[in-house]
């Protein structure tokens, strides 16, 4: 399972941490490999944004140990699901292409929410990071439901 956003310091690290928590609760953590990456290289090698770390911590998730990296063509060969935070991320991933069958989708396809993209919180305030967590938690519910059927 690979989560993708733009910088790999806000949204996709948050999704990675929340899904790891859910997988542990459902004892699926040894069945699914979870990672995240960004379509751009601005923040390669850095840890997540301090605001994302703090917002996640308040809800009991740890972003510790995560380091930003950029998506590579090999990711399309390694992962079965690549879940993108917004439409431009999705288009960038589809442009990379792959010879094998891999689910490249918007992460919010797994919710009933009317919002189809996780809004970029980078230039906004703390509310944006709370909204990211709300949407990510919601989508993780749907994703766990699918994984429990598949695994």
Spatial contact of 106 and 95, defined as CB atoms under 8 Å apart: no
Among 1, 7, 55, 111, binds ligand 4NP (CB under 6 A): 7
From the candidates 49, 75, 120, 138, give the one annotated as an active-site residue.
Answer: 120
Does 117 contact ligand 4NP by CB under 6 A? no
- Our finding on whether 6 is near ligand 4NP (CB under 6 A) is yes
Q: Does 16 bind ligand 4NP (CB under 6 A)?
A: no
Nearest CA-CA partner of 118 in 87, 147, 140: 87
**Residue 120 known to be catalytic:** yes
Asked whether position 10 contacts ligand 4NP by CB under 6 A, the answer is: yes
Inter-axis angle of helices 11-25 and 126-150, nearest 10: 40
In 49-123, at which residue ranges do the beta strands (DSSP E only) sit?
Answer: 81-84, 103-106
Residues that are catalytic: 5, 11, 120
């Amino acid at each position: 399972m690979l989560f993708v956003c733009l910088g790999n310091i806000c949204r996709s690290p948050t999704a990675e941490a929340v899904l790891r928590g859910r997988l542990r609760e459902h004892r699926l953590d040894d069945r699914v490999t979870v990672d995240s990456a960004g379509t751009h290289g601005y923040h390669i090698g850095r840890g997540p944004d301090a605001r994302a770390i703090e917002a996640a911590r308040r809800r009991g998730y740890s972003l510790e140990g995560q380091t930003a990296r950029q998506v590579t063509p090999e990711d399309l060969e390694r992962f079965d699901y690549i879940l993108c935070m917004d439409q431009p991320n999705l288009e960038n991933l589809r442009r990379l292409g792959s010879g094998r069958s891999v689910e490249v989708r918007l992460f919010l396809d797994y919710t009933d929410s009317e919002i189809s993209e996780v809004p970029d919180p980078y230039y906004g305030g703390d509310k944006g990071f709370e909204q990211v967590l709300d949407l990510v938690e919601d989508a993780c519910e749907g994703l766990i439901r699918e994984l429990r059927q598949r695994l």
